[in-house]
Amino acid sequence: MTKVAVVEIEGCMASSAAITHDVMATANRISAAKRALPFEVTTVRCASRKSDVDLRGIELVIVPGLGAASADELDRKLKSPTCRRASDMLTRAFGIGAVLAASCASTFLLAEAGLLDGRRATTTWWLAPVFRQRYPGVELLTEQMVVADWPIATGGAAMAQMDLMLAIVGRFAGPSLAKACANYLLLDERRSQAPFMAITYLAGQDPRIAKAEKWVRDNIARDFAIEELAEAVALAPRTFARRIAAICGVSPIQFVQRIRLETARLLLETTRLSVEQIAQQIGYAEPSTLRRLIRRDTKHSPGHFRPAV
């Protein structure tokens, strides 16, 4: 039986905390008739009032989503005495051998403590630019829903806590139990945040990149070189590539592809245009290219996005 502490920081996402407890309770319930329960769970609540918590003997510490509506709010939370105590608690637990797991903005707690330096991690996609700026020593894999760089695992935005919990069950109680939990709770396996990342939101954080996004949308129906796009926003191609990577976490080609795929999905969902017509409207000469990219990024065919008649 794995001894688990769920660290709920004041103001954390209620849904994220509930998911954490629900998945482990489900794992225990499924296992009850067959063998010993896989998880013994303790809830640790971190509030403004100072309290000493002893995590000795805890093998796994899980931090549900911190809950922050903006980068400024997140910065204030990270500087608060509550989060500083939580960060110290996580550092001590890791130092005595506990495995750590966090998702969404809570990944910043681990990074703030230096626990992710030199490691691979993910975080909520819309805070990825802030994360990169604050923690250059972390290899951030924004598009991944879960990065299990054991003994630390991180998850992406908000409901990625579901995916993180299934990874934890798989690690500590076996993949078959993780699959059973997913079936019981009707959870789909989701490996990437890419289909959910709003490129407009990310691009809007930098005037040049926002201008590049508008230029792509204005010229989406024709083929163009990345050099032409860079010139349109008055940046050298290499500078443009570095800036795109810093703000959006993608290459210039992926940036253009993401805008084209967003447009294609909108047309699939709102019009009766054929895939061939849509491909032509967004700059792909071959419909097979569009089909391939949609399936690669979403694991679905274009027909999946048509409204039910």
Q: 231-250: per-residue pLDDT in tens? A: 999 999 999 999 998 888 88
Q: What's the pLDDT at 246?
A: 86
Q: What's the pLDDT at 287?
A: 94
CATH class, 2-194 region: alpha beta
Distance between CA 34 and CA 37 in Å, rounded?
A: 9
Q: Residues 170-218: pLDDT tens digits?
A: 999 999 999 999 999 988 777 777 667 778 878 888 899 999 999 999 9
- Domain segments of the chain as ranges: 2-194, 198-305
Contact 3, 60 (CB under 8 A): yes
Distance of CA 5 to the CA centre of its chain: 22
β-pairing verdict for 146-149 and 152-155: antiparallel
Q: Which residues of the chain have a pLDDT value below 50?
A: none
Superfamily for domain range 198-305: Homeodomain-like (1.10.10.60)
Rg of the Cα atoms in the chain: 22
Q: What's the pLDDT at 309?
A: 60
Q: What's this model's pTM, rounded to 2 decimal places?
A: 0.77
Q: What's the pLDDT at 78?
A: 94
Contact 204, 241 (CB under 8 A): no
Which amino acid is located at 142 in the chain? T
Which amino acid is located at 100 in the chain? L
